[in-house]
């Protein structure tokens, strides 16, 4: 009986290992976020054409600009991850200016809390972040019903924490001028995100 149990456990362990290897792309990705990033790098994803509204009430989409776009997802009441992302975007904005990339790369922040983050609240947040409108646009979705499709396309997970906040993952999402998500990078990968965005912007220009 003991031998049969040991054999059964060995088979079960082997199945678990095999399943884990498949789920993590042969152990090359150890988390869902990493697996998603690898998938996107290998096969870019066309992002949905979803209406956005900015801090001035102007309409936008993710594909209404000829530049590459670095996208993050926030909510303005957040005092943890989103505050850190604000600092990252300030550095990105500064680097875009310093490297003369304003005509090739833009920044886009999308709030996943449209019930609270209306334009009247996005404006003060943009002022607090010192967002330069020609480089960094802060928006939310026009139709809250379209939000799940957008979050799914970018691999963003948002969970209501029950106390007027959300738990969510964060990354730098690079969308090329054709509207394809081509890279998902850690929030501290500022130089790499700009390099990828610039490369895809130049590729687009060369094809014209």
For the chain, what percent of residues have pLDDT higher than 90?
Answer: 61
Q: Which residue has the higher pLDDT, 103 or 204?
A: 103
At residue 54, the pLDDT reads: 94
Mean pLDDT of the region 23-43: 69
176 burial type by CB count under 10 A (0-12 exposed, 13-18 middle, 19+ buried)? buried
How confident is the model at residue 160, as a pLDDT?
Answer: 85
What pLDDT was estimated at residue 205?
A: 52
Is residue 2's pLDDT more than 70?
Answer: no
pLDDT for 71 equals 96
Are 118 and 140 within 8 A, CB to CB?
yes
pLDDT digits (tens, 9 = 90+) for 145-170: 999 999 999 999 988 888 878 888 88
Give 42-207's CATH code, choosing from 3.40.50.300, 3.40.30.10, 3.40.640.10, 3.30.43.10: 3.40.30.10
Question: Considering the chain, what is the average pLDDT of its residues?
Answer: 83
Q: Which two tokens stand for residue 35?
A: 């697996």
More confident residue, 113 or 20: 113
Rounded to 5°, the CA angle 169-170-172 comes to: 150
Which residue stretches of 57-174 are H helix?
Answer: 81-98, 119-129, 147-154
Asked whether the beta carbons of 61 and 49 are under 8 A apart, the reply is yes
Residue 167 tokens read as 């738990």
Q: Where are the domains of the chain?
A: 2-28, 42-207
d(Cα 75, Cα 72) in Å, to the nearest integer?
10
Q: What is the per-residue burial (b if ≥16 Cβ within 10 Å, else e) of 30-61?
A: eeebebbbeebeeebbebeebebbbbeeeebe
- 72-130 pLDDT tens trace: 999 988 776 776 778 899 999 999 999 999 999 999 999 999 999 999 999 999 999 99
The pLDDT confidence band at residue 204, using thresholds 50, 70 and 90, is: low
Q: What percent of the chain has pLDDT over 70?
A: 80
20: tokens are 């884990």
Contact by Cβ (8 Å): 68, 197: yes
Please report the pLDDT score of residue 25 as a whole number: 42
Residue 139, pLDDT > 90, answer yes
């Amino acid at each position: 009986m003991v031998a049969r149990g040991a054999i059964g456990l060995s088979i079960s362990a082997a199945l678990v290992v095999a399943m884990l290897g498949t789920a993590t792309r042969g152990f090359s990705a150890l988390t869902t976020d990493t697996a998603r990033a690898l998938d996107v790098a290998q096969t870019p994803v066309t992002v949905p054409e979803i209406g956005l509204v900015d801090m001035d009430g102007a309409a936008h989409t993710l594909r209404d600009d000829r530049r590459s776009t670095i996208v993050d997802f926030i909510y303005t009441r957040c005092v943890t991850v989103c505050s850190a992302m604000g600092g990252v975007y300030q550095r990105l904005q500064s680097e875009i200016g310093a490297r003369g990339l304003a005509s090739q790369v833009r920044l886009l922040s999308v709030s996943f809390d449209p019930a609270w983050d209306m334009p009247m609240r996005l404006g003060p947040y943009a002022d607090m972040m010192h967002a330069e409108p020609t480089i960094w646009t802060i928006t939310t979705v026009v139709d809250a019903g379209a939000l799940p499709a957008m979050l799914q396309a970018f691999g963003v997970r948002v969970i209501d924490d029950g106390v007027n906040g959300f738990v969510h993952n964060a990354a730098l999402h690079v969308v090329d001028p054709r509207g394809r998500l081509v890279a998902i990078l850690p929030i501290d990968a500022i130089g790499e995100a700009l390099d990828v965005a610039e490369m895809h912007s130049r590729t687009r220009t060369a094809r014209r």
